[in-house]
Amino acid sequence: GNSVTQMEGPVTLSEEAFLTINCTYTATGYPSLFWYVQYPGEGLQLLLKATKADDKGSNKGFEATYRKETTSFHLEKGSVQVSDSAVYFCALCTGGGNKLTFGTGTQLKVEL
Amino acid sequence: DAGVIQSPRHEVTEMGQEVTLRCKPISGHDYLFWYRQTMMRGLELLIYFNNNVPIDDSGMPEDRFSAKMPNASFSTLKIQPSEPRDSAVYFCASSQQGSGSYEQYFGPGTRLTVT
């Protein structure tokens, strides 16, 4: 079956630090990959996505590259801000019923 | 577009009472998903619908939980009777198969507290 593994949190960084949140997956077929972000008190919202190998998704300074050879989709940002403090979820979909398989989420805390 | 709408945003009830959560998906979306989020178990898929038909309810915890989708613009998740362990944030999400992107759009959630 499908599964997503994310690094444990919380991750605490100083403002302007470099961010990496690791995500690896197991899937049948060729999944689409996603990063969702959940700000405090809100629902999840799509941050970025990639639909095929070697695609790079990017949004709001965040990037992630679909690496088929390592089955990974690590999230990166060159310089984080306090406003990036949130929980980040890696997810995949293999198309069966539009059903997403989510990782457990990684909480990011950015301090001044 | 108003996005996915959920009501109520907060619900506090006593153990044994019936609770009904409501969701209005984005117009034109043909998939609807109900999730539950807790600190202990994270984000769990409870049930999802395609064209108003339940496709997979294997995540519904027990018979106290039921979900319906009488039409394309409305769904309910009911808990009867409620128990303190049902306290969680319940999210509704919708998506459109025809878009090809599989992106799900989440509502703001209903925070349920059962005392």
Q: Comparing B41 with B84, which gets the higher pLDDT?
A: B84
Report whether A75 contacts A68 (CB < 8 A): no
User: What dihedral do alpha carbons B46, B34, A87, A100 form, nearest 10°?
Assistant: 70
CB contact under 8 A, A97 and B43: no
DSSP letter assigned to residue B97: G
Best A2, A32, A98, A100 residue to mutate vs chain B (most B CBs within 10 Å) = A98
What pLDDT, on the 0 to 100 scale, is given for residue B99? Answer: 61
Closest residue of A to B96, CA-based? Answer: A98
DSSP letter assigned to residue A28: S
pLDDT tens-digit map of A36-91: 999 998 999 999 999 999 999 999 999 999 999 999 999 999 999 999 999 999 99
- Residue A26: pLDDT over 80: yes
Which pLDDT band holds residue A97 (cuts at 50, 70, 90)? low
Q: Which residue has the tokens 């919380």?
A: A10
How many whole angstroms separate alpha carbon A25 and alpha carbon A93?
11
Which pLDDT band holds residue A96 (cuts at 50, 70, 90)? low
pLDDT tens-digit map of B49-106: 999 999 999 999 889 999 999 999 999 999 999 999 999 999 999 998 766 667 899 9
Cis check: omega of the bond before A31, within 30 degrees of 0: no
- Name chain A contacts of B95, Cβ cutoff 8 Å: 98
User: What dihedral do alpha carbons A47, B10, B21, B97 form, nearest 10°?
Assistant: -10
What pLDDT, on the 0 to 100 scale, is given for residue B100? Answer: 64
Query: How far, in whole angstroms, is CA A96 from its chain's centroid?
Result: 21
CB contact under 8 A, A45 and B106: yes
- Most confident option among A15-19, A92-96, B26-30: A15-19
Choose among A46, A98, A105: nearest Cβ to B42. A105
Does residue A70 belong to the interface with chain B, where contact is any CB pair within 8 Å?
no
Best B104, B105, B110 residue to mutate vs chain A (most A CBs within 10 Å) = B104
